Amino acid sequence: MQVSIESTGALQRVMRVELPEDRVSVEVESRLESLSRTTRIQGFRPGKAPLRIVRQRFGQRVRQEVVGELVQRSFYEAIGKEKLRPASGPEISPLEANSGNGIRYTAKFEVLPDFDPAAPENLEVERTACEITEANIDTMVETLRKQHRTLNPVDRGARGGDVIEVNFTGRVDGGSFEGGDAREFRMELGAGRLLEGFEDGLKDRKAGDTFQLNLKFPDDYRVAALRGKPVTFDVSVLKVLESILPELDETFFATFGVRDGGAEGFRKEVREHMEREAAAVIRNRLRDSVIDAVYRANAISLPDILVEREKQRFSEQLRSSLKTRGITADIDKTLKPELFDAQARRRVTVQLVVGEIIRRQVLKPDPARVRALIESTSRSYEDPAAIVSWYYADRSRLAEMEAMVLEDEVIEWLAARARVREVRVPFDELVNKRQTESA
């Protein structure tokens, strides 16, 4: 086999390969002989057809199969010999494989960059610390009571803490605007989630009241076209509902699976849940901080093919998400993969650095952690045991879970060696930030 390689760019390679005819013909003859022992040809007993007849009947097809396999095999033999690491499969052209002339082909492909990852000791990452106080637990208990409240209609003016149900129609410059109309809309007075002045205008209103609110959009409103503009709302009050919170008693505690220990046992369960929630957020924030540090510290050449694939993946994910939410207008025109170039380059950079660390440190996924991840994933299904078996029954499915665990192990490996700056965050801020970031 003769191989020549040409660099046509930082990561682009062109490989020309020539295979002698004897390598092709020996393989073809071997397969034809095997075929002659098993094939059935009219006029001959099974396996008794002369080899020349088998060659005439199947020779061209067998040669095509052999050529295809030899091209693939020889490509990987060549890159192994030359110590190249392709970023993807090759583009083969042109292919010359006429009988008697061996095989000649050209393979175009990109290679993975050869680089030294930034030393983890030079990375600076942020680790969040959070203390859960008794006041945090008090707040959480009240939140849980609100989630299990009952709403009773009342014939009085609305006040803080009540839930009020309204119809409203908004007008700007005499016309309607997106999001300006609602029917049977419910809100809690005092929650502060609506345009400033809207909730204040509902206080002391009763069911059956109709009125007009003259307000103004703030100068920094999220919709640029509405910033600073006056707006008029025609409002009709349908219901005023008083919130009745459940008592902190055994019945309420049992709702959360706490049947022993009374109020103390319930608060203990609430604390443990909050600690698990905080720990999960802290792990994710540390992971994000490590990934940010890795990206900033490693400026490397990226294979175009990998960047393009990630851009396409980002585009498809957002397109699918929008369609699920019923948004289909013009998304094929607006969601061009080019919009995701920066995100794709960031992801590919991190993937390559993580892969290089795995390769150099010879890291392996911990089987116990893989099992724990699979079992955790399976709990949301009706038959968890069947889901666990499903993962372990297929090597490719198991490999996906192993890759997730291995990436977490690399993040932990980097965090253990990086310069860590601790930032203390109150529980409410930690959780609210998480909710804001996921919105």
Q: What is the pLDDT of residues 52-100, one digit of tens each?
A: 888 888 888 998 899 999 999 999 999 999 999 999 999 998 788 777 8
Strands, sheet with 91-96, edge to edge from the N-terminal-most edge strand: 2-7, 12-19, 103-110, 91-96
Q: Compute the distance between CA of residue 348 and CA of residue 337 in angstroms, rounded to an integer.
A: 15
pLDDT at 318: 86
Mean pLDDT of 380-395: 93
Encode burial over 57-76: b for 16+ CB neighbours within 10 A, e otherwise: bbbeebbeebbeebbeebbe
330 — alpha (psi -120 to 50), left (phi > 0) or beta?
A: left
CATH fold of 2-110:
Alpha-Beta Plaits (3.30.70)
Query: What number does CATH give the domain 263-298+341-438?
Result: 1.10.3120
Domain with CATH 3.10.50.40 in the chain: 150-244
pLDDT at 185 over 90: yes
The Cα 139–Cα 151 span in angstroms is 20
Architecture of domain 150-244: Roll (3.10)
Cβ distance 397 to 390 under 8 Å?
yes
Question: How distant is the alpha carbon of residue 323 from its chain centre?
Answer: 17
Classify strands 419-424 and 124-129 as parallel, antiparallel or unpaired: parallel
Q: Are 17 and 25 in contact (CB under 8 A)?
A: no
Beta-bridged to residue 232, according to DSSP, are 171, 214
Contacts of 437 (CB under 8 A, 6+ apart): none
**Every domain range in the chain assigned CATH 3.30.70.1050:** 2-110
H or E element, residue 421:
strand 419-424
How much is the pTM? 0.75
Find all residues with CB under 8 Å of 212, minimum gap 6, and list them.
Answer: 232, 233, 234, 235
pLDDT (0 to 100) of residue 40: 78
| Portions of the chain given CATH number 1.10.3120 | 263-298+341-438
| DSSP reduced 3-state for 220 | coil
Mean pLDDT lowest among 140-149, 202-211, 370-379, 425-434: 425-434
303 pLDDT band (50/70/90 cuts)?
very high
Q: Which residue has the tokens 């409103």?
A: 221
Encoded tokens for 136: 């945090």
Q: What are phi and psi of 384, to 5 degrees?
A: -55, -40
